[in-house]
Amino acid sequence: MNFLELVFTVCAITNAHRCEDKYIALQNDTPLTACVMQAQPTLAQWANANPDWTIKGWHCDYSSNRKEKI
């Protein structure tokens, strides 16, 4: 199944070389523009819940475009 995701890269505060990609799946009917508009508050919530990590970048994409498949 192909669905829209908020894709973001985070790095550990204690080790800037330790970075990971994270994915937050959105509802099936979410348009790309809504993903972009929801990104900032969603990322702020994630950052507050994960204080040991810093967000380095983000974008919206479809799950079928992942380099690593689910």
User: Which tokens is 58 given?
Assistant: 């983000």
What does the alpha-carbon distance between residue 40 and residue 24 come to, in Å, rounded to a whole number? 13
Q: What is the pTM of this model?
A: 0.84
- 8 in a structural domain: yes
CB count, 10 Å around CB of 20?
10
Domain span including residue 34: 4-65
**Beta carbons within 8 Å of 22's beta carbon, 6+ residues apart:** 7, 8, 9, 10, 46
- Residue type, position 36, single letter: V
- 24 in a structural domain: yes
**Beta carbons within 8 Å of 2's beta carbon, 6+ residues apart:** 62, 63, 64
5-62 pLDDT, tens digit per residue, is 999 999 999 998 999 999 999 877 778 888 899 999 999 999 999 999 999 999 999 8
Task: Count structural domains, the chain.
Answer: 1
